[in-house]
Structure 1
Amino acid sequence: MKSLWKTRKKFEIQMVGQNLFLIIFEMEEDLELIWEGRPWLFRKILVLFDKLCQAVERDQIKLTSSPFWIKIESCFPEFDKKDLLHAIGSTFGGVLRYEISEDF
């Protein structure tokens, strides 16, 4: 991941369990950059993230989902674009944000 993530400052990766890692960033901005860049893959495997604000036991960490960008090329003019996007997004767990281009 260190070669993939282009951060301004260093970060440290600690193995804390089987397939469970703690990543410590020196800069909050670097953390946000990586967080906003999701989803991330490592060796073609999806990497799931969560932000820890306080110490927590390993067995309390539940990594179950990751956001994805879904691009819809075109839409029938009779559909309300926002309603359509929310209907599609709800089948995948919800919509975090959406963008509608003029030619959609």
Structure 2
Amino acid sequence: MEMDELTKRWEKLNLSKEESKVFHVQNEGAKEGSSRGKHCIIGKVLSEKGVNNEAFRSTMSQVWRLEGWVRFKDLGDQSFLIEFQWLTDKEKVLSGRPWFFDRHLLTLLEVNESVSIVGLQFKFEPFWVQLHNLPLAAMTEAVREAFGSSIGPVIRV
């Protein structure tokens, strides 16, 4: 079959009236899943090479040492939906950042139930910063805040 013929066939394809129906999610339906979203985060391994999904699941489950279970759903593009049994485990993982897998940064985002997972952007990842050998007079919260602000938004001093 030639390309021109395929193009003509493709142009003739149309959705039927039934196939064109739009499904609208009602607020009540969206609220049902909201408690599940509170137990989830999205993780993305920043690597140009592929990630072994099973190795990622196994390694991170062991490294995090959680009290409850954790489930990983592969979202493609080295991204995972990570669901925790307990909110305390989720908070433990978020507060322990940054995390690495196979020497690559694992970026994490909390799930916003009103935003499509496809639209998420991994732009920032918090890091702890330590200052060493400061003069005693410079060991103030103001200096720490100013230094932190010079490299990015400060979450906590």
Report the residue type matching 1:85 in the other structure.
R
Report how many residues are paired: 98
- In structure 1, the partner of 2:72 is 13
Greater alpha carbon shift after TM alignment, 35-44 vs 70-79: 70-79
Relative contact order higher in (CA < 8 Å, ≥ 6 apart): 2
1:102 equivalent in structure 2:
none
Pick from 11, 36, 47 the counterpart of residue 106 of structure 2: 47
Partner of 1:3: 62
Gaps of 5+ in 2: 1-59
Letter in 1 for 2:123: T
Partners in 1 of 2:116 and 2:97 — Cα distance? 24
**Which residue identity is paired with 2:122?**
L
Corresponding residue to 1:30 among 89, 94, 111:
89
Percentage identity across aligned positions?
Answer: 26
TM-score, scaled relative to structure 2: 0.57
1:4 & 1:79 partners in 2: Cα distance?
Answer: 36
Q: Which residue of 35, 43, 59 corresponds with 2:118?
A: 59
For the 8 Å contact 1:38–1:68, the answer to whether it is kept is yes
Which of the numbers 132, 143, 148 marks the counterpart of 1:84?
Answer: 143
Q: Which has the larger radius of gyration?
A: 2
Per the alignment, in what secondary structure is the counterpart of residue 4 of structure 1? Answer: helix
Name the stretch that deviates more: 41-50 or 66-75.
Answer: 66-75
Equivalent residue letter for 1:53 = N
Aligned to 2:42: none
Unaligned runs of 5+ in 1: 99-104
- Structure having the higher helix fraction is 2
Query: Structure 1 segments of 4 or more deviating over 6 A?
Result: none
